[in-house]
Structure formats: structure tokens, C-alpha cells
């Protein structure tokens, strides 16, 4: 039996709503804490370097388990965790999700021709991580309204903790964009958006994100090595972070690799930057106080 994407999305969106309710997920908050949800589902979550796998769902043992490749970018780790939670919630058997490569920001393919269970799990991940309320929260925090630009979609994806292309497609599912707008967005490589914001700070664009903190002071969850930019007067930064003026007039701060968090106060107000270090080993819910869903403190 072939399952159309349309039907996969209908099944997955209902399953995601049920999962949010049963696992006590606050859908108005972004990013959605997927690791906590997996813990509350009674499933063991483990992060490990996996050479050719995005992750796996292990249904065979007495306690179900989810493995996530720790080498992938934060967005891909989160999407993989949500995809595997989808296999669990939808009653699928053990699945090894292959196809991971050295490109740590390339997501699970889930493309045309994928088996029905994979389509549904992939659609579940999108609806689980990007419920309408969380997307509305992010849009209102950023002060964005449709029609959105590619650069805005990129900033939305960062705050949802999802990949650029997946977010672009899901905005169509949420009827916040047309399919034609989405085609325009996915034609823009995220690397170009990153270079426009902070080109001179970047050796390469893979595995690094550039957060524009001009429109949205608040708490963000960034990864070490990311770059934060802010327009306007010189911002105040607290902590051992370096501040740099870019040729485009923006102020840039590289996210340090040895701090748990720091704050930055720009013309729009104060932002708290929580730093999510790549997780490794078994997820322990007590230590995850940052709400990024990675299992890191
Ligand atoms: Zn899968």
C-alpha cells in the first residue's frame, strides 16, 4: 500500500497532538523539549556517534530505546529524536534510520519513495517539533508576519530548533506560506543567509548558525561556535565573550565554548544565551534545565 504524504501528515498531526497532551508538552513554548518527552514516554534515549545512521528506534528489548547520532547538528539531532519518538508513538517495530553522512546538517531524507512508516515518522517529527502554537510564539517574539523572507524562515528555524528546509515545508502545512513561496525559500542555501549576516566571522557555513538578535531579545539556545549578531548601538555583553564590529555595521559575538550561558543587552533589550553542548551518552532528565531538549544542562 502506498501512503500519500497528505495522508501521512493527517495521521502524524493527530498523533503529535496526542503525544503533546499525554507527555505534558507545553506547545506554546519553543523549542519543544523532545528529550523530556521521550523520557516521559518511558523510552531510553542515548546519544552516540553513529557513522552511517541518523538514529534508531529499538522496540525489541523490554524497555524501548532511541539512539540519536551525536555527530549531527543540533537541529538534526532534535529532528531525529522526534522522528524516532514517532516510530514509538505510531507503534512501529525496530527501525534503523540510515543515510547520515559527513554533512552533519543534512536531515533524514524521508523523500518520495520512502516506506509508509518512514513518511509518517518524518511527518510526526515536523508536527511534534513545530505545533502551530510554538510557531505563533516564535513569529510574535520576532515580530514577523507572512509573507516571510528566506532570512526570516532561517531565524524561525533556529528558534524552533529545526532545520531550515524542514521548517520551510512545515510553514506550508501550517498554511503560513504557499508551496510557491516554499520553493523560493529552499532555493536559497542557508549558507548564503549566514554569510549575509556574518560572512567575515565564518570559515565555513556548515554546522554553524548565525542568530540575529536584533528583533527578539529573550532566551535562545545556541551551540558553541555559533555567531550572534545585533544591529544598532554597541551591545553590552556579560561573560568572557568577544565583541566585533562587522563591515555590514552589525555587532557580532561568537558563542564561546566554555560557558553555560551569558547575556547580551542590545538596543531592543536583554537576551540570555544558553549554550547547548553536544550531548553524549544516556539522557538524564534531571540535568536538562535549559529546555532545549538535548539532555544537556
Ligand atoms: Zn525512521
- For residue 86 the three cell numbers come to 514517532
pLDDT of residue 130: 98
Distance CA 38, CA 19 (A): 10
Distance from the alpha carbon of residue 91 to the mean position of ligand 1, in angstroms: 12
Ligand 1 centre and the CA of 279: distance in Å?
21
Rounded to 5 degrees, φ, ψ at 135 are -65, -40
Q: Which residues surround ligand 1, an ion (CB under 5 A)?
A: 95, 97, 118, 121
Measured in Å, residue 163 CA sits from the centre of ligand 1 at: 17
- pLDDT at residue 288 in the model: 45
Cell representation of residue 4: 500519500
Give the pLDDT of residue 234.
92
**CA of 172 relative to ligand 1 center, distance in Å:** 22
| CA 166 to ligand 1 center in whole angstroms | 15
- The one-digit pLDDT tens for each residue of the chain (297 residues) are 567 888 999 999 999 999 999 999 999 999 999 999 999 999 999 999 998 999 999 998 789 999 999 999 999 999 999 999 999 999 999 999 998 777 777 766 655 567 889 999 999 999 999 999 999 999 999 999 999 999 999 999 999 999 999 999 999 999 999 999 999 999 999 999 999 999 999 999 988 999 999 987 789 999 999 999 999 999 998 876 789 999 999 999 999 888 888 899 988 888 999 998 889 999 987 544 455 545 444
Distance (angstroms) between ligand 1 centre and the Cα of 268 equals 42
Amino acid at each position: 500500500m502506498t501512503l500519500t504524504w497528505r495522508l501521512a501528515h493527517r495521521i502524524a498531526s493527530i498523533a503529535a497532538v496526542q503525544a503533546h497532551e499525554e507527555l505534558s508538552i507545553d506547545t506554546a513554548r519553543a523549542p519543544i523539549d523532545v528529550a523530556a518527552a521521550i523520557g516521559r514516554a518511558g523510552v531510553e534515549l542515548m546519544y552516540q556517534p553513529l557513522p552511517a545512521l541518523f538514529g534508531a528506534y529499538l522496540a525489541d528489548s523490554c524497555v524501548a530505546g532511541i539512539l540519536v547520532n551525536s555527530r549531527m547538528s543540533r537541529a538534526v539531532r532534535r529532528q531525529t529524536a522526534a522522528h524516532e519518538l514517532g516510530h514509538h508513538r505510531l507503534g512501529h517495530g525496530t527501525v534503523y534510520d540510515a543515510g547520515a553522512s559527513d554533512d552533519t546538517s543534512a536531515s533524514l531524507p524521508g523523500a518520495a519513495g520512502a516506506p509508509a512508516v518512514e513518511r509518517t515518522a518524518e511527518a510526526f517529527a515536523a508536527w511534534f517539533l513545530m505545533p502551530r502554537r510554538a510557531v505563533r510564539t516564535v513569529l510574535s517574539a520576532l515580530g514577523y508576519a507572512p509573507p516571510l523572507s528566506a532570512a526570516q524562515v532561517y531565524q524561525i528555524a533556529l528558534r524552533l530548533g529545526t532545520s531550515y528546509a524542514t521548517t520551510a515545508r512545515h510553514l506550508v502545512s501550517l498554511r503560513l506560506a504557499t508551496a510557491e513561496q516554499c520553493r523560493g525559500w529552499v532555493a536559497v542555501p542557508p549558507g548564503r543567509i549566514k554569510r549575509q549576516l556574518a560572512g567575515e566571522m565564518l570559515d565555513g557555513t556548515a554546522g554553524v548558525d548565525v542568530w540575529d538578535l536584533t528583533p527578539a531579545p529573550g532566551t535562545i539556545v545556541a551551540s558553541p561556535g555559533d555567531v550572534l549578531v545585533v544591529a544598532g548601538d554597541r551591545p553590552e555583553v556579560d561573560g568572557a565573550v568577544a565583541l566585533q564590529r562587522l563591515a555590514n555595521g552589525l555587532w557580532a559575538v561568537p558563542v564561546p565554548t566554555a560557558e553555560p550561558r551569558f547575556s547580551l543587552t542590545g538596543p531592543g533589550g536583554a537576551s540570555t544565551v544558553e549554550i547547548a553542548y553536544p550531548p553524549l551518552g544516556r539522557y538524564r532528565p534531571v540535568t536538562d534545565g535549559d529546555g532545549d531538549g538535548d539532555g544537556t544542562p
